[in-house]
Amino acid sequence: MRSVLAAVLVALSVVMSACGGPQEFTGARLDQPYTVPDVPLTATDGSTYSLAKDTDKPLTLVFFGYTHCPDLCPLVMSSLSAGLNQLNDADRAKVDMVFVTTDPARDDEAALRSYLDKYGEGFIGLTGPLEDIVRLGEPMHLYVSDGKKLPGGGYDLGGHTTAVLGIGTDHEVHTVWTDKTSASAYADDIRTLLDEDS
Q: Where are the domains of the chain?
A: 26-197
Query: pTM of the predicted model, to two decimals?
Result: 0.83
Q: Which pLDDT score, from 0 to 100, does residue 2 have? A: 37
**Confidence band, pLDDT 50/70/90 cuts, at residue 19:** very low
> Residues with Cβ < 8 Å from 43, sequence gap 6 or more?
49, 109, 124, 125, 126
Please say if the pLDDT value at position 111 is more than 90.
yes
Give the containing element (helix H, strand E) for 164. Answer: strand 164-167
Q: How far apart are CA 117 and CA 79, in angstroms?
A: 15
Please say if the pLDDT value at position 6 is more than 90.
no
128 in helix, strand or coil? Answer: coil
Can you name the CATH fold of 26-197?
Glutaredoxin (3.40.30)
Which of 25, 166, 163 has its CA nearest to residue 95? 166
Please say if the pLDDT value at position 146 is more than 50.
yes
The HSE-up count of residue 155 (CA atoms within 13 Å, CB side) is 12
Give CA 100 to chain center in angstroms. 10
The HSE-up count of residue 43 (CA atoms within 13 Å, CB side) is 13
Q: Which pLDDT score, from 0 to 100, does residue 63 have? A: 97
